[in-house]
Structure 1
């Protein structure tokens, strides 16, 4: 790559990012939330497979994201603002995508075409196309952006390794993906990123004399990658079934795919967009319009088809054509031909492939490799002909850039995404930290996990990224025990003794957000929330900071993270559990609600504990006189283990509708280790 091309790529990336961030505000929306508001806090949250929000839950998919937020934290520590940190990281991803695809195009086409213009245009198209605009940058998920950036350079090094069998290329491929492992933050992207490399290996393997050696060398590359990424890969595999307790069955996956497939028809995906392109992008659709969009898109598609035609003599033609056909077949979902038969078999034989129930989102990235190469070949065919054809080629390149005009205006995400978190949130966080480290309960109560604020944010409720203390603020979607417990709370918000439930979950402060967007106030039930708060027993108003009202509960009644009880109240289901806790005689520190009777002593031992990590506690028991229940007020999981003298406490059960309880049958003074098992040796 010449310095001129490198400089051009650099300034294109800088120019784009400048346009996006010229107002000095951070971008935040949707599922990504405001994770870069305080990168060090996010880094801490993502450093463990046990995600500390709500009452906690397993989320190993966050582990690959750790290095991304660690780097962001370094920038912030240097005095760089969070919005500028975000701009720098996005600029890096743009550059990695451009440079990586330039080298990939050169490697794929270099045996037949020696043209920097060709490689340059291929990389430009990889960035400036409708799929990148809508599905990568428009969705604004860091995992997808990182996967898009890593795919070409990872594939380039793997292809070099397959061709030359030099171990340095396998190491380079693994090193690149190790730099931005956030690309694997979605399990499906492991398969997606590896797919072009595996296909190329199969394309080449039977052309060599020593087939066995070539196969072993490619497996070596996979082994190197696994070693480089074992720190998140092993938790992924061990915890996958437990962490997604609401994971879809094969029938569920087919049902979801059936609903989406109507948007993945062939006449949509060949233009690199889904069928609801006009419905979910708001201002983008008003920019394009039907006729203008079709003319521009057909022009680009015509050049791609021309590229397919002129590439027939290239050695890499069959590989690219297979990638194109296979990816188009896959992303069309259940649409004919053979869509229903293929995915029914796939999901039933390999249930984990249910992660591809939205194939356009999870696998559509692969289409960009052949599309970008074929577009560049079509462009180059025109460019090297007569003067008129050369002018036509330049016009087509301009059309390609115009087709993604929202890239150049910064309006590539639908809705409000530019935000500035009000300063009163930092003040409120500091004030709340002075009360202790118990959990926070946020209002208004959410029936799901989304919220809209008057200061511009719309997306997942973001309390865990703003407040240092753990927040019970929303449904978590992937934690069955917590979600069942949390969503049941809405039926009891008007009860005077609702405070008892908060005590049992370790909550000492209640926060009422009055800055909910006015258009969403009725849905959030703002008026009802204020009425309910007035009824709650023991609730005391402390302070109003900005548009946040802060209340406190009696700290003497708040259960600690770990405590012991010697009395049980029988509860056959969640409704009975709630009724027990709402009773006037309920003492959170004295007894628990559970579904089976246990023979207990009438003596509660002394308990103290040390938090070693989010998934490891050292508990000291003093003066036990026999059977008692040890309670951990983290969300119940079979993977939480209690051990004393290396032996597991076998009787582990659900208490209070969400927490962990163990029947400990030992007298005297001793230690108990509570650990959430992730590694095989634990």
Structure 2
């Protein structure tokens, strides 16, 4: 019984996330939709998409930012192959992230905040901090409510990374730096959002500087400097597998966005009214909670407004501890920085933020600063809320016993975030189940499509769909997750050169959707008939979705409009039906494949999405067409290393003129070399760190402490 009492807080903090996960996944549904799509539906297919810097969907395009997910998803895939369903693995991941984040906050506060406080405070303040970290308005709307996996992983890694770094500082042990790096490796999906590098490193960097300044002896400062450099170096080398390719090619992919300063400032100014000081100080967000009434109009009532104000009001009472607990100054600095960034262009320092925003281009990734950086503010808030609540309870304890403490926790962490307890996210249904006929269709298409692509119809003008399933789906068009053959189904900006032509043909083209449109007036992709355009994409089958809501098609088009159009087309006929899916076959020459020559027969081997081996079966000059989106980083070279001249065909794809067809030809996406180099560096670093870790662990055990 004494053991239970001793670890009661840990037990409760482990049970609370379990309760949430059991509530959320009680019906065996998948958490899907929004910008994430269905990454847990088919983990094997998803892993094949994210493992390379070329994303094999929607015509193919450069995409290195998903590489941080590869180790974690590779581990998950092992269990998926053993038969565990995606929603089960997803539930386990969510639980582990919640527990990791909550317990990290618990031990962080216990380690550096409460040692000088009374015994009772040492027990209750870390517990309150952990509960508040999990159940607060920001967690509701921006961590779990947004449905972004990177934010969820940040929820776990941010306090854990800081905790381990601080332990290393305090105990003068590099051992904890190794643990911090291992933790960041395991939770590397955090860094899919490139802004999370700054988010994760900001608290640690501030702690470096803070500790250096308050240190009074040279020896301590030397250790802090050495420890900091050691941590930065081993972290960088450990994460080389995604850092190198991301910083080599991500700028190329995102340059149309990141280089448009005025557009980014416009976005910043446009969203800033939704996170003014009166909202940010309460960790709320105006649009989601109050304007859009995402969680109901009840949140605009006086009662719920009053509950939200309990957060800053309670935190104010922590001022009494500022002198007694010196480390609170670190959290105060972190809090003020988090507040400054989260407010964006809003007063009182919005003008200065815009100046900095203009001056440093990398900060333009924080166009929505509260969404991206608010989690730092949330972490900094936790000790102040917990200490303030404890102080308030002490002041009222004689009269009200512990009622004030329990009441505020109940209102803030229970009533206000009730949608979190129910599993209600972002005002839409995030819980879905893919109908069985999709798997049936995928099996048939995989057996018949060969190297051909699929196209999802009705073709949408943007990237979002709503499927009218028993448990509806709302989010990005998910064809790339649902089907094994490569799929085209949404506007991803870079594919507009052919996608807009198809939209015009179907009559639902909307100008300036997702930014400027390329000039397609003289497009070589345009053809007299639909089947000819689809042949240029190597699309062998059309998947017609009778389960799609007409409202998302655009330009007042309906499914019936698309159905009539398809029925009028030559060389296109319906060949199969699976539930609400009609499959149309597109008939064109078998000589047209993913890689082919109009003049001679060819054979090719796909080694992976970034490397192909091609053999010309006739010895004469010919053109070699490669039906992936044109990218200057695609190269074709012969066995002797001769690089062939790269051209564009059909206005969107790749082509090379082959003069010596006796040699094998290799088609390679050059950025994969960066991935290979980074992977080697990361692998060698991890092996070395494991050896060092084992050695240090044995040494500590030998000396009688861990």
TM-score by length of 1: 0.89
Supply the RMSD in Å over aligned alpha carbons.
2.2
Task: Compute the displacement of 1:488 (Å).
Answer: 2.6
Residue in structure 2 matched with residue 78 of structure 1 by the alignment: 82
Of residues 448, 473, 481, the one that matches 1:465 is: 481
8 Å contact from structure 1 (residues 24, 83) kept in 2:
yes
Task: Compute the displacement of 1:289 (Å).
Answer: 3.1
Residue in structure 1 matched with residue 516 of structure 2 by the alignment: none
8 Å contact from structure 2 (residues 633, 670) kept in 1:
yes
Of residues 135, 144, 156, the one that matches 2:151 is: 144
8 Å contact from structure 1 (residues 503, 557) kept in 2:
no
Residue in structure 2 matched with residue 615 of structure 1 by the alignment: 610
Q: 1:105 to 1:553 in 2, by over 3 A?
A: same
- How many Å separate the matches in 2 of 1:654 and 1:315? 64
Of residues 485, 497, 518, the one that matches 1:484 is: 497
- How many Å separate the matches in 1 of 2:27 and 2:298? 22
- How many Å separate the matches in 1 of 2:248 and 2:552? 40
Of residues 525, 529, 548, the one that matches 1:516 is: 548
Residue in structure 2 matched with residue 597 of structure 1 by the alignment: none
- How many Å separate the matches in 1 of 2:250 and 2:427? 32
8 Å contact from structure 1 (residues 505, 559) kept in 2:
no
- How many Å separate the matches in 2 of 1:496 and 1:651? 30
Residue in structure 2 matched with residue 232 of structure 1 by the alignment: 242
- How many Å separate the matches in 2 of 1:351 and 1:470? 35
Residue in structure 1 matched with residue 430 of structure 2 by the alignment: 417
Residue in structure 2 matched with residue 577 of structure 1 by the alignment: none
8 Å contact from structure 1 (residues 649, 662) kept in 2:
no
Of residues 498, 522, 526, the one that matches 2:530 is: 498
* Count of matched residue pairs: 638
Task: Compute the displacement of 1:31 (Å).
Answer: 0.8
- How many Å separate the matches in 2 of 1:668 and 1:551? 36
Task: Compute the displacement of 1:111 (Å).
Answer: 4.4
Higher relative CO (Cα under 8 Å, sequence separation at least 6) belongs to: 2
Please give the secondary structure, in 2, of the residue aligned with 1:540.
strand
1:461-517 Cα offsets, whole Å, 9 max, x none, are: 00111100001111113xx2x123212321123786111010011111111100113
Please give the secondary structure, in 2, of the residue aligned with 1:107.
helix
- How many Å separate the matches in 1 of 2:297 and 2:76? 35
Residue in structure 2 matched with residue 18 of structure 1 by the alignment: 22
- How many Å separate the matches in 2 of 1:74 and 1:641? 34
Which is further off, 139-148 or 636-645? 636-645
Residue in structure 2 matched with residue 669 of structure 1 by the alignment: 662
- How many Å separate the matches in 2 of 1:46 and 1:82? 17
- How many Å separate the matches in 2 of 1:654 and 1:308? 65
Please tell me whether residue 267 in structure 1 is matched to residue 278 in structure 2: yes
Which is further off, 29-38 or 159-168? 159-168
Task: Compute the displacement of 1:519 (Å).
Answer: 5.1
Of residues 446, 467, 491, the one that matches 2:460 is: 446
1:609-640 Cα offsets, whole Å, 9 max, x none, are: 111111011122344434x3322111111111
Q: 1:215 to 1:560 in 2, by over 3 A?
A: same
Task: Compute the displacement of 1:535 (Å).
Answer: 2.3
Q: 1:518 to 1:612 in 2, by over 3 A?
A: closer
Residue in structure 1 matched with residue 218 of structure 2 by the alignment: 209
- How many Å separate the matches in 1 of 2:574 and 2:405? 69
Q: 1:471 to 1:315 in 2, by over 3 A?
A: same
1:524-550 Cα offsets, whole Å, 9 max, x none, are: 531210121022221121011101110
8 Å contact from structure 1 (residues 60, 243) kept in 2:
no
Which is further off, 217-226 or 286-295? 286-295
Task: Compute the displacement of 1:80 (Å).
Answer: 2.7
8 Å contact from structure 1 (residues 622, 670) kept in 2:
no
Please give the secondary structure, in 2, of the residue aligned with 1:368.
helix
8 Å contact from structure 1 (residues 118, 377) kept in 2:
yes
What are the residue-to-residue correspondences of 1:582-601 with 2, within 5 Å? 590=598
- How many Å separate the matches in 1 of 2:146 and 2:482? 22
- How many Å separate the matches in 1 of 2:14 and 2:283? 26
8 Å contact from structure 1 (residues 444, 524) kept in 2:
no
Residue in structure 2 matched with residue 587 of structure 1 by the alignment: none
Please tell me whether residue 182 in structure 1 is matched to residue 184 in structure 2: no
Please tell me whether residue 244 in structure 1 is matched to residue 254 in structure 2: yes
Please give the secondary structure, in 1, of the residue aligned with 2:475.
strand
Structure 1 gaps of 5+ residues are 565-589, 591-603
- How many Å separate the matches in 2 of 1:281 and 1:138? 14
Q: 1:278 to 1:413 in 2, by over 3 A?
A: closer
8 Å contact from structure 1 (residues 277, 285) kept in 2:
no
- How many Å separate the matches in 2 of 1:94 and 1:466? 28
8 Å contact from structure 2 (residues 290, 297) kept in 1:
no
Which is further off, 423-432 or 83-92? 83-92
8 Å contact from structure 1 (residues 150, 176) kept in 2:
yes
TM-score by length of 2: 0.86
Task: Compute the displacement of 1:280 (Å).
Answer: 6.5
Residue in structure 2 matched with residue 599 of structure 1 by the alignment: none
Please tell me whether residue 65 in structure 1 is matched to residue 69 in structure 2: yes
1:20-44 Cα offsets, whole Å, 9 max, x none, are: 1222222212111121111121111
Of residues 429, 451, 460, the one that matches 1:437 is: 451
8 Å contact from structure 1 (residues 112, 314) kept in 2:
yes
- How many Å separate the matches in 2 of 1:668 and 1:49? 29
Residue in structure 1 matched with residue 364 of structure 2 by the alignment: 354
Structure 2 gaps of 5+ residues are 508-526, 678-706
